[in-house]
Amino acid sequence: MSESAGTDAKRYLVRTFGCQMNEHDSERIAGLLEDDGYERTDDESAADVIVLNTCCIRENADNKLYGTLGHLKARKAENPDLQIVVGGCLAQKDAELIQQKAGHVDVVFGTFNVHRVSELLDEARDTGPITEIWTEAALDEAEAFPSAMPVRREVDHAAWVTIQIGCDNSCAFCIVPAVRGVEMSRPYDQILDEVRTFAADGVTEITLLGQNVNSYGRDLQLAKRQAGDPSARLRPLFADLLRDAGAVEGIRRVRYTSPHPKDMTPEVFAAMAETPTVCPHLHFPLQSGSDKVLAEMHRGYTGERYLSKLAQAREMVPDLAVTTDIIVGFPGETEADFERTLEVAAAAEFDSAYTFVYSPRPGTEAAERVDDFCDPEEVKDRYSRLRMVIERSGRRRHEARVGNVEEVVIEGPSKKDPTQITGRTGQNKLIHFPSGPIKVGSYATVRVTEAATQYLKGELVEVTHTARHRTKIPVLSL
Chosen from ligand SF4, ligand 5AD, none, partner binding at 212 (C-beta under 5 to 8 Å by type): ligand SF4
Q: Would you say 333 and 339 are in contact if contact means Cβ atoms under 8 Å apart?
A: no
C-beta of 26 vs 287, nearer to ligand 5AD: 287
Site string for ligand 5AD, 327-346 (x = CB under 6 A): x-------------------
Name the DSSP class of 351.
Answer: S
C-beta of 167 vs 440, nearer to ligand SF4: 167
Among 285, 289, 441, 458, binds ligand 5AD (CB under 6 A): 285
In whole angstroms, what separates CA 464 from the centre of its chain? 28
Around Cβ 454, how many Cβ atoms within 10 Å? 11
> How near is the Cβ of 405 to ligand SF4 at its closest, in Å?
36
Amino acid 186 reads: R
Mapped onto helix, strand or coil, the DSSP state of residue 324 is: strand
Nearest C-alpha neighbor of 33 from the set 145, 121, 126, 107: 121
> How near is the Cβ of 270 to ligand 5AD at its closest, in Å?
25
Contact residues for ligand SF4, defined by CB under 6 A: 167, 169, 171, 174, 176-177, 211-212, 260
Residue 107 φ/ψ, nearest 5 degrees: -135, 130
Is 174 near ligand 5AD (CB under 6 A)? yes
**What is the rounded distance in angstroms from the CA atom of residue 52 to the CA atom of residue 204?**
29
Chosen from ligand SF4, ligand 5AD, none, partner binding at 211 (C-beta under 5 to 8 Å by type): ligand SF4
Sign of the C-alpha dihedral, residues 163, 165, 168, 174? positive
> How near is the Cβ of 240 to ligand SF4 at its closest, in Å?
22
C-beta of 358 vs 443, nearer to ligand 5AD: 358
Residues 86-125 that bind ligand 5AD (CB under 6 A): none
Chosen from ligand 5AD, ligand SF4, none, partner binding at 325 (C-beta under 5 to 8 Å by type): ligand 5AD
Nearest C-alpha neighbor of 280 from the set 310, 249, 238, 322: 322
> How near is the Cβ of 330 to ligand SF4 at its closest, in Å?
12
Among 350, 358, 433, 443, binds ligand 5AD (CB under 6 A): 358
C-beta of 38 vs 284, nearer to ligand SF4: 284
Angle at 333 between CA 327 and CA 337, to 5 degrees: 90
Q: Would you say 389 and 346 are in contact if contact means Cβ atoms under 8 Å apart?
A: yes
